[in-house]
Structure 1
């Protein structure tokens, strides 16, 4: 009978709906607390992570050979790397 289906189905649906809402709230609270304990602002976490990814070296375009050699020349002329380090790095850059 249709009345029986509605009389059993409606409370069952309501309980399931409340359980799903409760689960969503539980997960949101756990994520909020985890982000806070990790030192992030939970309300801006996604934006912070996207900004870090955008500024990471992994997403940066690869330097040209000319740029790499110019950087090596600069490091050597400023005394940051020795002549041997300079020559080795230059060989490595040219062998790629």
Structure 2
């Protein structure tokens, strides 16, 4: 009893067919998912081909990435309270209370 080449090539053919079927089903799955995602995006009123650019522009234009204003110094905060009193926005009592809170820290 020797080595039978037909059995070896037959087994290789079966393994190759299984591998090809797995790869092909993977391609089909990816294509189906891409079509479903594109349909969802289109149904939401967006262009699936420019969605990344749209989202990037919205994030860049939003306040999420805007630099935070530097904190005011003690002098700036006191000047703001003085300005509010000078314009009549706050009373003398409110001015005194606000200055005391600012100076207290």
* TM-score bracket, shorter-length normalisation: 0.5 to 0.7
**TM-score, length basis structure 2:** 0.59
Count of paired positions: 78
Q: Unpaired segments of 5 or more residues in structure 1?
A: 74-82
Unaligned runs of 5+ in 2: 1-6, 81-88
Residue 65 of structure 1: how far off its partner (Å): 3.4
Question: Once superposed, which parts of structure 1, at least 4 consecutive aligned residues long, lie more than 4 Å away?
Answer: none
The question of 1:47 aligning with 2:30 is answered: no
For each residue in 1:11-53, what CA deviation from the matched residue of structure 2 results, as whole angstroms up to 9, or x when unmatched?
Answer: 1112111110110111000110010011111000011111111
- For 2:70 and 2:43, how far apart are their aligned partners in 1? 41
Q: Please give the alpha-carbon distance, in whole angstroms, between the structure 2 residues aligned to 1:5 and 1:20.
A: 23
Q: TM-score, with normalisation over the residues of structure 1? A: 0.64
| Cα distance between partner residues in 1 of 2:11 and 2:23 | 17
- Structure showing greater radius of gyration is 2
C-alpha RMSD over aligned residues = 3.1
The aligned runs of 1:1-96 (5 Å cut-off) are 2-66=8-72, 83=89
